[in-house]
Amino acid sequence: MTRKTNMLAASAFSVLTATAALSQQPDDNRLDEAWRDALEDFEGVVTPQQQAQLNLLAYQAAVARVCDGFKLHLDKYAKGVNDIILSNADKLDDQQKLARHTNILLTLGTTYGLFLAEGNAKKESFCKTAADDKKDTGFVNVWE
């Protein structure tokens, strides 16, 4: 494997691990029905790995808003979002690109809002989890 392939594989693993950790938070912190409704029509727009990456970006943006001591690195955040939006764009016509781009941004905004709601509902545990994530050297983040 090339170095780039290894880095991509490590990043994908980190995203999946982080998303799994987020989904294992105590059930009373989760807005299960809202999550189900928000993601119901999104299947097929992105790959499961890209969905995990979008969720991770939304989570980190919410942490930066809710928790003290966190700030987004805007260039890294933008690169993460753009990497997803632009993937496979060359295979779509302009109308399909616009529809996909819109769907991705709407879903990112919705998941960001859900993380804000969950984070503000249980701020202490939400921010503690984020602090643990930030210390974890295997957790790929877009915080400064």
Give me the helix-helix angle, 48-66 and 3-23, nearest 10°. Answer: 60
**Residues near 2 by Cβ (< 8 Å), separated by ≥ 6?**
none
**Residues near 128 by Cβ (< 8 Å), separated by ≥ 6?**
none
pLDDT in tens, 4-53: 333 334 444 444 444 445 545 555 556 777 777 766 766 667 888 998 99
Q: Can you give the pTM of this predicted structure?
A: 0.75
pLDDT at position 118: 92
pLDDT at position 127: 97
Nearest-Å Rg of the Cα atoms of the chain is 15
In angstroms, the CA 86 to CA 64 distance is 25
Give the residue carrying structure tokens 């003290």: 68
pLDDT at position 120: 96
